[in-house]
Every structure is written in C-alpha cells, then in structure tokens.
Structure 1
Amino acid sequence: MASVLRFATNEYFLSGNFESDLKSQNPILIDPLWKGTKLEAPLHHFPLPILDSPNSFCILTSGSTGLPKMVWKKWEEIENEISYWTKLPEIQTLYTKADRVQVQVPLCHLYGLLWGFLIPKRLGVLVEGNPNPKGGDLWITSAPQLQKAFLSEKKLPLHAIVSGMKFPVPLARSLRDLGGISVTEIYGATETGAIGFRDPLRQNRFQILPGIETKYKSEEGMTETELQMKSPFLSHTSFLLKEEGWEEQTIPPSEYYSTNDLGNFSELGWFLLGRKDRIIKHNGKRVSLDQIESEILGLGMEGEFISVPIADELGEIIGLFSSSNLSDVEILRILQKELPASHIPRVILNNPEIPKLPNGKPDYLSITKLCTDEYRSKQNQKKNTTN
C-alpha cells in the first residue's frame, strides 16, 4: 500500500476521510501547524517509507528538537487500546453520560485521536471539536488549557481527561473547590500509547495499566530509575529523518522500550519525576525542569513559564522564561514563597512572546540561549559594579 501525506485537521477525521484513507493507503498524519514551515519542507525531499500492514498509519512528531519522526501505528495496537478503555465501566460512564464530548486538543496527535475521536466513536458519543468550549459534561483537554479556562472564569466541565504534562495538584484542588470537577490524567507518549493514569487530586503516583510489563533501570549516582516497558499498545517501528532520508528504527517484541522518563516505583504506583534530558542537579539536588513548570502552572499566575538549564561555573542553574505581565521581581517573590529552594530560578527573563517551534511547542534551544545571555549579562554587571 502507498503512503500518503495528510494535513490532519479535525475536519479530516470528522468527515470520514481518515477511515477512507485506511482502506486504500497508509496515511501519514501531519499537524496542520507544520504547513508551510521548515518542518514540512523535508517531508517532500525523500521517498516515503512503505508500510506493509493494512489499516496502519504514521503519526509525525518532532518533540522539542524539531527533528521529524514518524511513529508507525498498526491497527492492532490502536484496537488493543480502544478495547481496553471502552470496556472499563468508569470510562463508559464518563462518555455515555455526556451529551457531547468537547475536544480542545488536535486529533492528529495520538492522545487527541484516541480520546477525542476513536474512543467516543466506539461508544457512540457525539464529538464536538471546540478550541474554546464553555461548560458541558466532558472535555478532552490539557492542563494549560484548563488553567486558562479557570483563570478566565469560563464555565468549566463536570469532567476532564488530560495528558501531556504532570497535572498540578493545586489546580486540581482549585477545580474541586469550584464544584467537584473531576480530572483523569493519562500518562503515555506517541510511541508507548497509554502507560498509566491517575486522579491528580487523590494520587501522587500513576497507576500502571494491567497487561503492561515494566522494569526500572538504575543509573550510577542516581536515586531515580528509568521506566522501561512492554505493552500491547507499544509501537515497535518508527522512522527518523536523517540527512540521507528516513531511517527505520525497530524495537524487537522481546525487548523493553526505554521511555526516557525518570522517577521511582513503589506498591503505590509510579512517581514520575520527569524526562531524563530535562533533569539537572541544582544546589546539590536532582531537579526536574518539567516538574518546576507544572508547579508554576499550579500557582495560577497569568502567562506561560518555560524552565531551562543554564551552564554555570559550578554546575547548572535554573533559568525561567516568562510571558507574564508580572515583573521578574514579583515572579521571584511568589516563587520564593511557594516553591522549595531547589526549584527557584537564578534568572528570570520576561518577554510578551514565547519562542515556539513551527509545531507550536516551546523552542527550548532558543529560550535557553536567551536566558543564558541574560544571566551572563547580569553576572558581568555585578563584576563591573564590584570593580
């Protein structure tokens, strides 16, 4: 079957074009935000991978680096995940009691595709693609979007399913205080599918799903371990774009997949600290920059906040890039009051616009450079003042 590129808007799925493509070819789903950007251009330079499995498709991702990667999703993996969730009575109730499901996340991403389209379709529930919903029974959304709705005092849903970052507990408490709004957080990635879930108000740890085999890899000098897993939802093949074309990467069924997530496991569940490449040693403690962003989101300050590492003579320190209307002094005062000392940034840089990649994700490389330049500039000012 031939592979074909598709800019996968919500209309693409809701019109039935996705199902039509699956019958005759293998669609490669591209986020519409890529159109006309530097992320789209390389997709037309090399022959597309040939997929030999019917009813399969690829999801294009780029992560925080902007390097395109195709994750090959075979229908067996998708069907396994749909069947698992739709057989759970609590999930059935959540969907079937809703007049309609309001979806705030793109359907071209795995989380949106499953929870905002395929699962409700299997349960016979009406889907409404609405980037700015008001009230209702069930939202498929994210923590930042739910926070924005909360701060703008919009009418909120009775239930929300979220994914994408560790949901801030203070935000969950604020939502509960508004009237018992319940939140279910799904933990997973494009490659893995769902790994676990939690109620952020009641559970600090993710409950790993039955049927998923896990082991935890220790690294020298670290108290945290890396989560590795086998799963019926796991995609075993992906294609990474290199200078000479698409390079196939395969995980044998007998091998465990390394999630690149660090944390610790106990009988209570998996405590996620953050991604391995987003953890630094600050003031003698290992700190997750992802966790800092989640904690700041839970404080309810307006604007976006991106945490990055800055190289210092004595190691790494924390930089914070903000689009808040608050001054850096006001932000620092709030953070010193609410966060542990190990999570306090050494430099805060305010700007109305957050540098973004064409896929809409924060451009961490550019943000890191801007924060590093700001830190070094302030250090030089201090030296000149001392002299």
Structure 2
Amino acid sequence: MRYNLLKRQKIWRELTWTLFERRQADMHWIANRLPDECCVVPVFQDQCLFFSCLFAAVTKGTPCLFLSDHSLESIKRLRSDFCCIHLVTDRDSHGTFKSDEVLRIASTTVDSVCNSVEKLVMDPAGDQIVLKVFSSGSTGIPRFYSKTWTALIEEARMIDRSLKLGDHARHLISTVPPNHMYGFSYGLFGPLHWGMSIDAERPVFPLDLRRVLLAAPDSAWVVTTPTHLRAYMESAVELPKLAGFICSTAPLPLELARSVEERFGCALIETYGSTETGAIAWRHPTQGQKWTCYDAISISMDEQMRVYAPHLPLEGQSLDDRVRLLDKSHFEIIGRSSDLVKIAGKRASLFELNAKLCDIPDVKDGTFFIPPKKADQPQDNIRLGAFVVSDEQDPQIILDELRNRIDQVFLPRPLVMVSELPRDANSKLPRAALEKLWYAHFDKGRALI
C-alpha cells in the first residue's frame, strides 16, 4: 500500500497552511545531502522540518535514530553500535557531534529550491526498519529497539480506533519532542495518519501554549507530560478552550488530573506504553484507575509481563513492568520488577512508593531512590532515599505524612528537599541523573546507609 501522508494532509503552522510542494522541496534538499548507508539522528524544534527529515530518510532507506540524550557517553556508544551517524537539526548547537557529522537546516534553507521538483511518495516495504529508538535509561543503560513501517502504521490505526481524537477536534499541539516514541506516535505521526492537523511549533511554557492555542483555527488536543501539567497549574496564564489533554511519560497523580480537568474544563486522557512495544493502553484517570488495552493488544503476566499484538514479534515483547490483570482487556500497574525492594523481610515497589509520595499535599514532584552502595556495604543492607520538590521546606512534615501512608521500614533516610528533579525533556528520570544529584548532596565516600 502506498502512503502519501503529506499529499493527503496539510500541516498547520499558526493559521498558515504549508503547501505540499514546499515540503517536497525540503525533502529533496535533505535527501540529496544525506550520506548513503548512514543512520540519521533528527533533532528539531520545528515539527514540519522533523517530519520532512523523516520522510527523506524513509525514501532513501535510511533509519532514523531516536536518542534519550545526547551526552558524550551516549554518542560514543552510538558510534560503536553504528558505522555511520549523521545529526540533522535546525539548532545552532550540535553538542557532542563532530562537525562532519552534522547537517544543519533552517526554515529558510530551502527557500531558493525550486518547488516544481518531482513528487516524492513514501512507499516503503512493510518490513523496512524506519526507526531505531533508544530507551530512556531510567533503569540503567539505554537500549535500542527497531520499528518497521508496518508496526508504526498499525500502531497509529490501533490508537485511532480506541481514542478517536479526530472526532472531537481536528487540530493537535504537542509539547513533547517528536524523537520520543510517545511524542512521535501521539504528537506527529499518528495525528497526520488520522487526518488531523498539527502545529509546527512545540510550545514548552504556559504562555507559549496559550499563544499557539489562540492561533488555532478551533479547539485542539494538547499532547503533554505531568511536568508540563504541573507548570500549567502553577502558572497564572489562562488557556483558551481546548479539546483535552493527552498525558504520558511519567506517573500522573490523581489529584493533579482532577485539578487539571476542573481548571481547564476538559478531559485528560492518560496513556501507557513503552519504547519496546509502543502504545499499550489508556485510561481516563478521574473516571477510574484501571487501564484499558488498545484493541490489538493482549497481555500475559507470569514471571514477567509480556505484550502481544499483530505488529509485535510473534512471541510477544517482554517488559520489566508488573501488572495485575483484571480481565483480558483491563489491568492495574503494580510497578517494575527492577524496582522491587525488600527491607526487613517486607517488599514494596518504588512505583507505589512514588505514587504515595506525590499524593501528599504540597508535594509538587518527588521520587524514591536507592542510593549507590559503598564497596563494603552488605548486599542485603538497603536503605531508601528520596528527593522532594515542595513549597513545604521542612522535610520532617513530609516524613510525618509518609509515615501515615507507608510502612516505616520504607521511610526515606534521608529525604532531600530540592528545587527540581533532573527530568529530561520527556519527564523521565535517568538513573545516572539521579546518582549525580545524590552525589551533589553527599560525598561519594559517605553515601548514607
């Protein structure tokens, strides 16, 4: 089947419809400058240019790499895994990439390119690997997972059958980078496939979101994260009427969901998925806490969670998450196998502990943390720490609240008050970033136990 997404879908940029011919010029310009047999790392502020880069790479048969971070260590690992990498970006800075690994594009780069170029049609083989997506590193070293064209198309169709976002509004704005699978599936590729229009800008701050919403032809969906939602709630900026919020990437406290719906007068839909599988389930948290699987998804839970779908490997995809199956279509999330802790013969999940911490009034953000062990520390001697963002500056008050919610053996020692958590652009908390924050408060030689 031939997919000419841009020919059937205009892209909205603040009330200006970008002509398909202009996007064709972008794609030709990029495709002609991409090295052969070289993986592309697309990093863009402008979503139109991002999609043009993706389109160019697909037609050239080149996979795009979605990275969780661009640290020197990550880029070194990338060079060891792939013989050739090339950053394509609209940013002035290219960080840790070498100058000969960078192709910079601006919105005006292709102004002089003739618009009468031959039409490009995206017609990849179904099994063509389009993306190689790296996990966030929240549980350790990031790993990459390949995504075929068929898998991306089937996932988009699956989401549309359940959520039917286009039935409620024809426009969508995303605050999430498109090189994150959630931002890509719900904020760019999916909406284009569903016949919706998206805005080229990715507004980060409340005032930016207000400006883009006011420019929209009609009400719009906003694809975002819990971190952004907290910022909207703390801001005095009023948002115009919108169709609703889609939220993912980190646990969403129920109280935050209720506050968002009450203030902005719209629905908030939470989604659940993984880098390995893509979209898995969704829920309307203020209406109930159970998750509903998308119609193509089935789940088993024995020693580990396994997800099945026609667009996934036949044997399914195993995940580190732990769930409680309610029936064949519904489940509750318990936590991750890797975040189970056992102290004094008692077990708890960091996922559940974090949820109870973030439900405390005045706690804006927080996370439990297993501190790095000292060399002479016994393997079974585990103490938990916690980082908390709160207007309440007395950690003892937070501890007293926790004492009423969790077993005291899991109380964090210490509980550290911080101005913010080191979340990445997708609201994830990489383990390495938390360790760095820990060492900023405690010397390596005297990690508390």
Residue number among 230, 249, 257 corresponding to 1:147 in the alignment:
230
Q: Would the alpha carbon gap of residues 8 and 27 (structure 1) be closer, same or farther in structure 2, given more than 3 Å must change?
A: farther
Aligned to 1:123: 194
Residue number among 60, 75, 92 corresponding to 1:24 in the alignment:
60
Structural mapping, 1:362-377, within 5 Å: 362=430, 363-367=433-437
Alpha-carbon distance, 1:373 to partner: 6.5
Structure 2 distance, partners of 1:196, 1:105, is 19
Mark the structure with the bigger radius of gyration.
2
Instruction: Output the amino acid matched with 2:203.
Output: N
Instruction: Output the amino acid matched with 1:232.
Output: P
Q: Give yes or no for the alignment of 1:309 onto 2:376.
A: no
Aligned to 1:266: 326
More strand by share: 1
SS of aligned partner of 2:141:
coil
Structural mapping, 1:109-120, within 5 Å: 109-120=180-191
Instruction: Output the amino acid matched with 1:24.
Output: K
Q: Give yes or no for the alignment of 1:86 onto 2:160.
A: yes
Q: Give yes or no for the alignment of 1:291 onto 2:352.
A: yes
Structure 1 distance, partners of 2:81, 2:263, is 52
Structure 2 distance, partners of 1:256, 1:200, is 27
Instruction: Output the amino acid matched with 2:309.
Output: S
Q: Give yes or no for the alignment of 1:9 onto 2:75.
A: no
Alpha-carbon distance, 1:66 to partner: 6.0
Residue number among 302, 315, 320 corresponding to 1:217 in the alignment:
302
Q: Is 1:95–1:123's contact at 8 Å kept on the other side of the alignment?
A: no
CA-atom RMSD in angstroms: 3.5
Structure 1 distance, partners of 2:305, 2:447, is 39
SS of aligned partner of 1:85:
helix
SS of aligned partner of 2:354:
helix
Q: Is 1:304–1:323's contact at 8 Å kept on the other side of the alignment?
A: yes
Moved more, 271-280 or 363-372: 363-372
Structure 2 distance, partners of 1:87, 1:355, is 36
Structure 2 distance, partners of 1:217, 1:345, is 31
Q: Give yes or no for the alignment of 1:329 onto 2:396.
A: yes
Instruction: Output the amino acid matched with 1:322.
Output: V
SS of aligned partner of 1:290:
helix
Q: Would the alpha carbon gap of residues 370 and 124 (structure 1) be closer, same or farther in structure 2, given more than 3 Å must change?
A: same
Aligned to 1:227: 305
Structure 1 distance, partners of 2:444, 2:389, is 15
SS of aligned partner of 1:29:
strand
Aligned to 1:340: 406
SS of aligned partner of 2:287:
coil
Q: Return the TM-score normalized by structure 1.
A: 0.76
Moved more, 143-152 or 292-301: 292-301
Question: How many residues of Structure 1 are paired with residues of Structure 2 in the alignment?
Answer: 349
Moved more, 200-209 or 7-16: 7-16
Q: Would the alpha carbon gap of residues 203 and 58 (structure 1) be closer, same or farther in structure 2, given more than 3 Å must change?
A: same
Structure 1 distance, partners of 2:421, 2:262, is 31
**Deviation digits for residues 16-43 of structure 1 (CA, Å, limit 9, x no counterpart):** 2211111013233344851x63212332
Residue number among 377, 380, 386 corresponding to 1:320 in the alignment:
386
Structure 2 distance, partners of 1:103, 1:264, is 31
Alpha-carbon distance, 1:75 to partner: 0.6
Q: Return the TM-score normalized by structure 2.
A: 0.67
SS of aligned partner of 1:201:
helix
Q: Would the alpha carbon gap of residues 366 and 257 (structure 1) be closer, same or farther in structure 2, given more than 3 Å must change?
A: same
Structure 2 distance, partners of 1:376, 1:162, is 39
Residue number among 317, 324, 331 corresponding to 1:257 in the alignment:
317
Aligned to 1:41: 76
Q: Is 2:177–2:425's contact at 8 Å kept on the other side of the alignment?
A: no
Q: Is 1:22–1:57's contact at 8 Å kept on the other side of the alignment?
A: no
Instruction: Output the amino acid matched with 1:301.
Output: D
Structure 1 distance, partners of 2:78, 2:227, is 30
SS of aligned partner of 1:272:
strand
Aligned to 2:179: 108
Q: Would the alpha carbon gap of residues 110 and 179 (structure 1) be closer, same or farther in structure 2, given more than 3 Å must change?
A: closer
Q: Would the alpha carbon gap of residues 355 and 217 (structure 1) be closer, same or farther in structure 2, given more than 3 Å must change?
A: same
**Deviation digits for residues 166-192 of structure 1 (CA, Å, limit 9, x no counterpart):** 321121222233254311111110111
SS of aligned partner of 1:17:
helix
Instruction: Output the amino acid matched with 1:309.
Output: I
Q: Is 2:42–2:65's contact at 8 Å kept on the other side of the alignment?
A: yes
Structure 1 distance, partners of 2:383, 2:81, is 41
Q: Would the alpha carbon gap of residues 145 and 179 (structure 1) be closer, same or farther in structure 2, given more than 3 Å must change?
A: closer
Instruction: Output the amino acid matched with 1:60.
Output: F
Q: Would the alpha carbon gap of residues 372 and 285 (structure 1) be closer, same or farther in structure 2, given more than 3 Å must change?
A: farther
Structure 2 distance, partners of 1:171, 1:357, is 20
Alpha-carbon distance, 1:357 to partner: 7.8
Q: Which runs of 5+ in 2 are unaligned?
A: 1-35, 86-123, 214-218
Aligned to 2:339: 278
Q: Which runs of 5+ in 1 are unaligned?
A: 219-225, 237-252, 380-387
Aligned to 2:144: 70
SS of aligned partner of 2:41:
strand
